[in-house]
Amino acid sequence: MGTTLSVEDMACDGCEANVEEAIRGVAGVTGVEADHESGTVVVEGDADAEALVAAVDDAGYEASA
């Protein structure tokens, strides 16, 4: 199962790396791919969407599921 998040304020590859690192720390995540050009993050696994949004928010970006 996968989840796609919309993420505001990702402007570069470094931003993508920061968001991916934050999401990898959430239980149940098996894969993650951020794309700053589309403003999305695709997360593989069975992680809770609210936990994913919280992790991205904690990293300094604004996310929504």
Q: Tell me: the pLDDT tens digits for 13-23?
A: 999 999 999 99
The tally of CA atoms less than 13 A away on the side-chain side of residue 44 is 4
Chain mean pLDDT for the chain:
96
**Nearest Cα residue to 16 out of 44, 38, 48, 49:** 38
CATH code at position 60:
3.30.70.100
Q: What confidence score (pLDDT) does residue 36 get?
A: 97
The proportion of the chain whose per-residue pLDDT surpasses 90, expressed as a percent, equals 97
pTM (two decimals): 0.94
Cβ neighbour number for residue 7 with a 10 Å cutoff: 24
Sign of CA dihedral 57, 63, 64, 65: negative
Range of the domain at 39: 2-64
pLDDT single digits (tens) 21-41? 999 999 999 999 999 999 999
Q: What's the total number of domains in the chain?
A: 1
pLDDT above 80 (res 1): no
